[in-house]
Amino acid sequence: MVDSAVTEAPTRLRAGARPVSPAAHLDARFAAATVTGAQGVRIRELPFLTMVGVRVVPGTPVAARIEAALGTALPAGCGAVTAAGGSQVLWLSPDEYLVVSQEQPADLARSLGEALAGEPGSVVDLSANRTTFELAGPRARAVLEKGCPLDLHPREFAVGTAYVTVIGSVPVIVWKVEPEVFRILPRSSFADFLGRWLVDAMAEFKVPETSTWR
C-alpha cells in the first residue's frame, strides 16, 4: 500500500476556455452509426464524469472512514459496484476502487482525502484520465462480443456489475447499468481508437436483414 496521498488532476485549460472531451470529434460519426429497431444499437460519449481513484485496505479503520464519507460500503469483490446518492463505487482490485460521482472532482477528492487522515492509502482525481462511452440497444452485447473476452451473457454479467477487461486491444472498464446499456471507460488517450472500433463493429447491423427462403 502506498503512503497517504491526495492528488488532483492538473488544470490544463486557461481560465474561461471551454473543455473539449476526448471523443467530441466523433459526435457526428456516432450519430450516423445509430441503428434503430430490433437490430438497434447506438453509442454516445458521456464526458466529464467525476472519477476518483481510491486505494485502501478493506476492513481497516481508514477504509471505514472512506465508507462513511461515501455513504456506502466499498464493494467486496470482483465485479461488485456499490452506490449511495449520486456516487457509485466500482471494484478494480482487492485494494483499489473507482468512485464515479455527480460531485465536483475537487470536492469529492478533498472529502475522501480528509478521511485518510494521514494513514496509508491514496485518493486521486482521475476525472481527466478516462472518458465514458455508452453503448445501448438490443445489439449492444453483440457489438461488445466482437472484441471483449468476458462472458457477457446476462446469466454471467448482471446489471449493476463492472469488470476490468479489454475491447480489442484497449484496456477498459465495462459496466452494465441496464439490461441493454453498457458503459465503457477507456483511458482518454484511447478514446479515438476505441470509438472508431465500436462504430465499425456496429456497421453490420445497419444492413437490412434479407430472407433466403423461397
In a domain, 8, yes or no: no
Is residue 39 one of the residues assigned to a domain? yes
pTM: 0.89
pLDDT at 192: 98
Same domain? For 59 and 117 the reply is yes
Task: Note whether residue 5 is domain-resident.
Answer: no
Strand ordering across the sheet containing 181-186? 42-45, 133-136, 181-186, 170-178, 161-167
What local confidence, expressed as pLDDT, does residue 12 receive? 47
Looking at residue 113, which CATH number applies to its domain? 3.30.70.1520
Q: Is residue 18 part of a domain?
A: no
- E-assigned strand segments in the chain: 5-7, 42-45, 50-55, 81-84, 87-93, 96-101, 122-125, 133-136, 161-167, 170-178, 181-186
Note whether residue 4 is domain-resident: no
Q: In this predicted structure, what is the pLDDT of residue 208?
A: 72
Same domain for 88 and 35: no
Fill in the amino acid letter for 129. N
Task: Determine the longest span between alpha carbons in the chain, in angstroms.
Answer: 75
Q: Do 38 and 138 share a structural domain?
A: yes
139: nearest Cα among 43, 31, 38, 27:
38
C-alpha cell read off for 74: 466499498
pLDDT at 90: 98
- pLDDT profile of the chain (214 residues), mean per 10: 50 62 97 96 97 97 96 97 95 98 93 93 96 98 98 97 97 98 98 98 84 55
Supply the range of the domain harboring residue 29. 25-47+131-206
**Three-state SS at 56:** coil
* Residue 143 domain flag: yes
Q: What is the pLDDT of residue 133?
A: 98
Number of domains observed in the structure of the chain:
2
Where residue 175 sits, what CATH number does that domain have? 3.30.1360.120
